[in-house]
Each structure stands twice: as C-alpha cells, then as structure tokens.
Amino acid sequence: MSERRAIIVVDLLKGFFKGDPVPAPVHADRMIRNTRTVIDAGRDAGIPIFFIKDNFLPEEIDCDRHFKLFGPHCIIGTPDAEVVDELGPRPGDFQIRKKRYSAFIGTRLDGILRELDLKTLYVTGCWTDCCVQHTVCDAFYNCYDVVLVEDCLSSADWAAHEYSLKYMQKYYAAKVQSSAEVVAALQRDRAPALKR
C-alpha cells in the first residue's frame, strides 16, 4: 500500500557537491538524476517525500565537533544548506534539519513518520557509509523497513559505499533495489485495478 511508504532523501544539499570542504560523492550527476526519477514517481503515487538536511547555525562554527572532522559546511542561511536545484522541494514535502549523522537524532522525523502511519522507507542520498548508514541503523531500531535505492546512493569513497550496502543488508535487514525497480513498483501501485 503506497500510503505506508515514504521516500527519504539524505543530504543531497548544494554544500555536498562543491568538494570543499566536504569531498563530493562519486557519480553525483547519476545519483541526482535517478533520485529525481524516484521522487517524481513517488509524488505521482502520493508518497510523502522527506528531505533530510545537514544544517548548522553560524554560531556553531567554532564549537560543533562535526566541523572538527569535516570543516564548516551547510550553514543555515547560505545556499550550501539547501537541497540541490534539480530536486527542489515542493509545497507538501517535508524538510527535516539535523545536526547529527542520523536523521532520527534530535529531529521530528520519527514522530512525523508515525503520525502518518508510514512503515517502509525508500532511502536515497549521501554518504552511504555515513549519514545514510546511521539513519538506516536508527530506522531499523525504530522498527521501520528499509529499501536502499542503490543507484540513488553514493559516497566520496566508493569502496566504503559498497561495504556499507552489504553491512546494512546484513545487520539492518535492508533490501536493495535499483531506481528502476522502485519506480516500477510505485507505478504499479498507482495503476487502476482491472475490472473483472
């Protein structure tokens, strides 16, 4: 049932595609193109879209421990903190700001998913081996089913990306599907039933 599912778009923000200070993901253009196809199919099927945004206040630049690893990025009020233009959120889409790797920590994501009675999450975004993996971990422990849309995920480290996919399948029971498989499933769901 399509009303039980959501599409989760993790950190496809302008600041992640500049390569400075955060390394850009591999195959970025392909990932964004495929993600757009999945989002469009999801909208046609009436599935909620959640844009997860790694967003920080300017006041946090000197103190946030995350910046000690990767440098300041995605500062609220700058273009870097916004979703890439190709995927631009629309009215009715959810935009969830986070300050941790996981989209569940310190955000309203879990509450909104439960209020909408959603169960299965189609997960897209970057980096597979960081924010995506931490989000999927918490999704598993919050009793959601996860489908990783393989060609809508990426990392700056392709070997880590591939290892992370296997890890999430093994430890979080995540399923892996291509964007074409997801789109086909969404289109089937919205197709009118045949009369007998």
The number of domains in the chain is 1
Handedness of CA 33, 43, 154, 163 (dihedral sign): negative
**Residue 97 is assigned to a structural domain of this protein:** yes
CATH code at position 34: 3.40.50.850
Mean pLDDT of 113-141: 98
Radius of gyration of the chain (CA): 16
Q: Express each pLDDT in 73-84 by its tens digit.
A: 999 999 999 999
Nearest to 87 by CA among 187, 16, 180: 16
**Residue 11 is assigned to a structural domain of this protein:** yes
Q: Which residue range(s) make up the domain with 177?
A: 2-190
Q: Please say if the pLDDT value at position 193 is more than 50.
A: no
**Residue 116 is assigned to a structural domain of this protein:** yes
pLDDT band at residue 189 under the 50/70/90 scheme: confident
**Residue 83 is assigned to a structural domain of this protein:** yes
**Residue 195 is assigned to a structural domain of this protein:** no
For position 177, what pLDDT does the model report?
Answer: 98
pTM: predicted TM-score of the whole model, two decimal places: 0.94
Handedness of CA 133, 168, 111, 96 (dihedral sign): positive
For position 130, what pLDDT does the model report?
Answer: 97
Mean pLDDT of the chain: 94
Parallel, antiparallel or unpaired: strands 94-98 and 120-126: unpaired
For position 3, what pLDDT does the model report?
Answer: 57
Strand partners, 85: none
Strand boundaries in the chain, DSSP class E: 5-10, 49-54, 94-98, 120-126, 145-154, 175-177
**Residue 62 is assigned to a structural domain of this protein:** yes
**Residue 196 is assigned to a structural domain of this protein:** no
